[in-house]
Amino acid sequence: MIAASLLALAVVTAGCSSAKPEAAAPKDSAAAGTTTAASKEPHADQLKIAVPADVGPLNLYLNSGNEGLLELVYDKLFAPSPFVKDPQPWLAESAKQLDDLNWVVKLRQGIAWQDGKPFTADDVKFTFDYYRDGPSNRYTHHVSEVPSIKTITAEDASTVKFTCAYACPTLASITMADLPILPKHIWEKVENPRKFTDLPIGTGPYKLVEYKADQYYRFEANPNYFQGKPLVDSLVMPIIKDPAAMFNALRSGEVDAAGKGLPPELLETFKKLPNMKVVNTSDMTLVELRVNYEKAPFNQPEFRQALSYAVDRKSINDTVMLGQAKPGLQGYPHPDSPWTNPNLSTPFDLAKAKELLDKLGYTDKNGDSVREDANGQPLELNLKAPTTEPTWIRTAELLKDQFAQAGIKVTVEVLDSATISTLLQSRKFDMYMNNIVPHGVADPDQFVMSHRSGYLWTKGLPYPEMDALTDKWMKEPSVEKRKQISFEMQTLFNKQPTSIVMYYPKENYAFRSDKYDNWLESPGFGIVEKLSFLPASARKAAGLAK
């Protein structure tokens, strides 16, 4: 079935008038990995990269589920992301902080959108205004609330001034490294961005020239990219949702790389395959047990603390992930982020968990090994997990056993992923398994926002200790002092977590080295991201020289 789909893809690609003849043939990628004498950089005519999901026509208002694909098309003022210690100017030439509230950004000149229109300060002003004042999307709160940008002014064609409502010392390293810039001449005409289905136009190194729902994406290199011509002329990305089918396609050579990490049980097998390489990356994701903190008994901080103590994270990692992850012993957020307190600790302590439950009045009154509350009601909880994630289901089953050791009865319920995705908003759950992407666990502004958005906490719900720290954080104009306040917030959170971290996956990406062997990890993105396909000069400019 996969072979037939890929053959059909090759035929469609060959029949598209915008494709280069040499980029359409099914065996184009056989020439990959060559190095041109002039540039001494690797080159490939075409790569086929399997992706695990259809995220639509890359409209960031519809779905931002694969930011690596968005990065191919769009650029930001700073690069590569807020997940590194020191992002570098990208579309921006420089950013200067004038005082606690004001920044001035100078833009690179001579950059064009993929349709040939010039990129100017008006595009930057429009983007930030649109994110702040228009329909909400994944980026909105990084302009409207954390931080809050009061005014954006295009002072001339290459100068933009930003004025914040409160201190914004990390505006360049966080906000400007996170928000993709949109072309004003296209988006100002869009009445409803959620219904916009045109293929995107950015300033990035690749243009999306073809998208077939549930079938594939096809990108062509932007030869005039301001950071240098891409090293791969064409990227064809078949959508293969079934992990087994994806890795079978990689093993057989039907695709050249997989945009999803190898399952732990396949790691050693793929390492031994001829012409196959596996690289370990820091994807900065985590798998969590999410609890309904608005519902008893989870609304008691001590109860959430007891749950955390009852979890043997090392045992779960060894059993479920076969050691191919880091146990979540440092809690939330991700320990690889430069913005995370290195001293966080969430140990396994069953005796402490039992002690806390005793103090809360949950005791086993009838000797059936299940605790009861003061009214004699058994402490019985429900834990939901999605059918699409076998490792999460196995984790849930182990949690059931571990919580039983503390006297808590847990029933595991497996549901379809669509239903799981509605739980946070509906609040119809006790606990469920979930994962969080780098935006949530490696971005310090998002950690604050998550306590105001209904994820880690709900704005307006009493939490005086965290509210006091947040107020202190917002007033602090020093980056380093604000970072220390963030560390205090993280310590407070992990004492009474609403997200109980299970493990931090180590993503192992596999690719055929005979086709292309110039992949680069961008923290938080894995290897399927623009810098993998750009020359060494661009990698150096982003601070990620190989």
Q: Does domain 286-505 have CATH number 3.10.105.10?
A: yes
| Rounded average pLDDT over 419-426 | 94
- Domain boundaries along the sequence of the chain: 42-72+204-282+507-545, 74-198, 286-505
- 58 pLDDT more than 80: yes
Q: How many residues does the chain have?
A: 546
User: ω before 80 within 30° of 0 (cis)?
Assistant: yes
- 3 state DSSP class of 163: strand
pLDDT tens, 130-155? 999 999 999 999 999 999 999 999 99
pLDDT tens, 154-172? 999 999 999 999 999 999 9
pLDDT of residue 65: 61
Tell me whether residue 368 is exposed, middle or buried, using C-beta atoms within 10 angstroms of its C-beta: 0 to 12, 13 to 18, 19 or more: exposed
pLDDT band of residue 324 (cuts 50, 70, 90) is confident
- 356 pLDDT more than 60: yes
pLDDT tens, 97-126? 999 999 999 999 999 999 999 999 999 999
- Written as one letter, the residue type at 351 is A
pLDDT tens, 508-541? 999 999 999 999 999 999 999 999 999 999 999 9
Tell me the pLDDT of the chain averaged across its residues: 91
Q: What is the DSSP string of 469-489?
A: HHHHHHH---HHHHHHHHHHH
- 283 pLDDT more than 90: no
Distance CA(401)–CA(328), nearest Å, equals 18
- Please check whether residue 100 is in contact with residue 477, taking contact to mean a CB–CB distance below 8 angstroms: yes
pLDDT band of residue 219 (cuts 50, 70, 90) is very high
pLDDT tens, 443-470? 999 999 999 999 999 999 999 999 999 9
- 37 pLDDT more than 60: no
Higher pLDDT, 39 or 345: 345
pLDDT of residue 79: 97
pLDDT tens, 480-507? 999 999 999 999 999 999 999 999 998 9
- Please check whether residue 485 is in contact with residue 522, taking contact to mean a CB–CB distance below 8 angstroms: no
pLDDT of residue 282: 82
Please state which of the ranges 20-29, 238-247, 488-497, 504-513 shows the lowest mean pLDDT: 20-29
The hierarchical CATH code for the domain 42-72+204-282+507-545 is 3.40.190.10
- Please check whether residue 457 is in contact with residue 267, taking contact to mean a CB–CB distance below 8 angstroms: no
- 44 pLDDT more than 80: yes
- 3 state DSSP class of 200: coil
pLDDT of residue 64: 58
pTM: 0.89
Distance CA(263)–CA(265), nearest Å, equals 6
pLDDT of residue 22: 29
pLDDT tens, 165-209? 999 999 999 999 999 999 999 999 998 999 999 999 999 999 999
| Rounded average pLDDT over 267-285 | 94
pLDDT band of residue 218 (cuts 50, 70, 90) is very high
Which CATH code, of 3.60.15.30, 1.20.1260.10, 3.40.50.2300, 3.90.76.10, is assigned to 74-198? Answer: 3.90.76.10
**Considering only CA atoms, which of 202, 198, 222 is closest in space to residue 210?**
198
